[in-house]
């Protein structure tokens, strides 16, 4: 409002998932408080000011909705409940922040922890982990709790009690603003202070293997080690997009270089022959020099997540899985996984960008499930899973 009153003829966009939410939370309060200064045209979904400035009201419930804003230019964009939008939606809207007028161009986001956009908001504003082309100076995080709003506390003292009565994870997120735990989190067992370790704290005597989740949109490969008790350590990772099969195999070979890697477990679909070449992805990757022996992973999703949960939570003081602090993508992605809306025992496939490294880790633990069986031997020797048809290398 203040920017619209100060700068004539600026164009603003206010976004939320639905028009109904915008009307209830923004249009009615604004008309009530500033009715003499603004006019509202329902047919155009627009608030107008006497100096020519406007606020367009938009919704973005799905990725296809954001395409209506492509090519548009706005001086100010505000997204309410930004964690309800995907990173793709945010990226498209961000590209609309442009123009030739001599006015400040700004983007404002308000949100709570949780939701489909939790991971990208946390990465950019809380963890401040940036990719190539992203400028840290463009992002500023201003945390706020309900206790910072004395006007609200005076007007609605019951609101704090309502927040305090929420389920624990939701209460910690909405009342205390915690970004490390939220309702719908698939792995609430994950704790940075417990599962992340300095690389120097990892034992040197390990039996090593690797796991990969490959797609052209992203290769996620993890190098792991198992100690004599069967505990797993994630030593290193490589996560890179837009790689051909051969390029991906070169990355995996480089990841494993200098280590005795006994096998690489990978998604079974790499063993499918491609119609264009008659060769499988496995054959292409295995032919690369330095690529360790590959084997098809047990890719059962629910069973795999259960085994991973065992590794994460079997011991509240010393879990059976620890991750090197160097594995930043896995550390970012694993706690950001959401429960599937229809099948809560499975992880959601959205947002897709955070699924790759956890999928590779699921393949890894499914190749090492024996330590949680009652019949497991005390020393939990490093035993390969039973050979499957299609494996080129006898185990």
Tens of pLDDT, residues 285-301: 999 999 999 999 999 99
Q: What is the 3-state secondary structure (H, E, C) of 319-386?
A: CCEEEECCCHHHHHHHHHCEECCCCCCCECCCCHHHCHHHHHHHHHHHCCCHHHCCCCCCCCCCCCCC
Q: What is the pLDDT of residues 41-58, one digit of tens each?
A: 888 889 999 999 999 999
CATH classification for the domain delimited by 192-372, as one of 3.40.50.1370, 1.20.120.420, 3.40.50.720, 3.30.420.280 = 3.30.420.280
pLDDT at residue 389 in the model = 45
User: What's the chain's average pLDDT?
Assistant: 87
pLDDT at residue 371 in the model = 61
Q: Are 395 and 296 in contact (CB under 8 A)?
A: no
- Angle among Cα 134, 138, 142 to the nearest 5 degrees reads 125
For residue 351 the two structure tokens come to 């947002």
pLDDT at residue 379 in the model = 45
pLDDT at residue 42 in the model = 85
Which of the residue ranges 56-60, 73-77, 296-300, 377-381 would you say has the lowest mean pLDDT?
A: 377-381
Helix (H, G, I), strand (E, B) or coil at 18: coil
378, pLDDT greater than 60 = no
Q: What is the pLDDT of residues 165-201, one digit of tens each?
A: 887 777 888 888 888 777 778 898 888 889 999 999 9
Q: Band of the pLDDT at 376, cuts 50, 70, 90?
A: very low
pLDDT at residue 390 in the model = 47
Percent of the chain with pLDDT over 90: 52
Q: In degrees to the nearest 10, what's the CA dihedral of 236, 242, 244, 250? A: -30
What average pLDDT does range 259-281 have in this prediction? 89
Q: Band of the pLDDT at 74, cuts 50, 70, 90?
A: very high
Delimiting residues of CATH 3.30.420.280 domain(s) in the chain: 192-372
2-111 CATH: 3.40.50.300
Q: Indicate whether this model's pTM tops 0.75.
A: no
147, pLDDT greater than 50 = yes
Q: Band of the pLDDT at 320, cuts 50, 70, 90?
A: very high
pLDDT at residue 259 in the model = 96
Q: In degrees to the nearest 10, what's the CA dihedral of 267, 268, 270, 274? A: -150
Q: 7: how many CB neighbours lie within 10 A of its CB?
A: 19
Delimiting residues of CATH 3.40.50.300 domain(s) in the chain: 2-111
Q: What is the pLDDT of residues 341-367, one digit of tens each?
A: 888 899 999 888 899 999 999 999 999
pLDDT at residue 253 in the model = 97
Nearest one of 70, 72, 90, 71 to 80, comparing CA atoms: 90
């Amino acid at each position: 409002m203040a920017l619209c009153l100060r700068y004539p003829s600026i164009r603003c966009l206010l976004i939320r998932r639905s028009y109904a939410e915008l009307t209830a939370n923004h249009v009615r309060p604004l008309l009530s408080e500033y009715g003499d200064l603004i006019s509202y045209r329902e047919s155009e979904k627009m608030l107008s000011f006497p100096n020519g400035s406007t606020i367009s009201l938009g919704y973005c419930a799905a990725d296809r909705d954001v395409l209506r804003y492509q090519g548009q230019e706005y001086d100010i964009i505000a997204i309410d409940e930004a964690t309800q939008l995907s990173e793709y939606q945010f990226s498209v809207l961000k590209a609309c922040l442009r123009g030739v007028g001599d006015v400040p161009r700004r983007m404002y986001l308000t949100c709570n922890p949780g939701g489909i956009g939790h991971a990208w908001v946390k990465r950019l504003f809380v963890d401040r982990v940036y990719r190539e082309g992203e400028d840290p100076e463009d992002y500023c995080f201003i945390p706020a709790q309900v206790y910072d709003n004395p006007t609200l506390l005076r007007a609605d003292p019951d609101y704090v009690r309502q927040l305090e009565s929420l389920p624990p994870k939701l209460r910690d997120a909405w009342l205390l603003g915690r970004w490390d735990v939220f309702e719908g989190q698939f792995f609430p067992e994950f704790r940075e202070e417990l599962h992340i370790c300095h690389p120097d704290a990892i034992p040197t005597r390990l039996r090593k293997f690797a796991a990969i989740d490959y797609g052209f949109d992203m290769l996620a490969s993890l190098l792991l080690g198992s100690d004599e008790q069967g505990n797993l350590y994630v030593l290193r990772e490589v996560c890179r997009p837009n790689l051909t099969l051969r390029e991906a195999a070169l990355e995996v070979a480089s990841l494993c270089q200098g280590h005795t890697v006994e096998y690489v477990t990978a998604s079974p679909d790499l063993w499918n022959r491609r119609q264009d070449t008659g060769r499988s992805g496995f054959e292409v990757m295995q032919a690369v020099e330095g690529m360790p022996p590959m084997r098809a992973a047990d890719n059962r999703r629910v069973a795999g997540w259960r085994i991973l949960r065992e590794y994460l939570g079997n011991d509240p003081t010393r879990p059976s899985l620890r991750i090197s602090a160097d594995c930043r993508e896995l550390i970012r992605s694993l706690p950001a996984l959401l429960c599937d809306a229809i099948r809560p025992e499975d992880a959601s496939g959205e947002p897709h960008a955070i699924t790759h490294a956890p999928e590779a880790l699921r393949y890894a633990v499914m190749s090492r499930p024996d330590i949680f069986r009652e019949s497991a031997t005390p020393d939990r020797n490093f035993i390969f899973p039973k050979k499957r048809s299609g494996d080129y290398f006898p185990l």
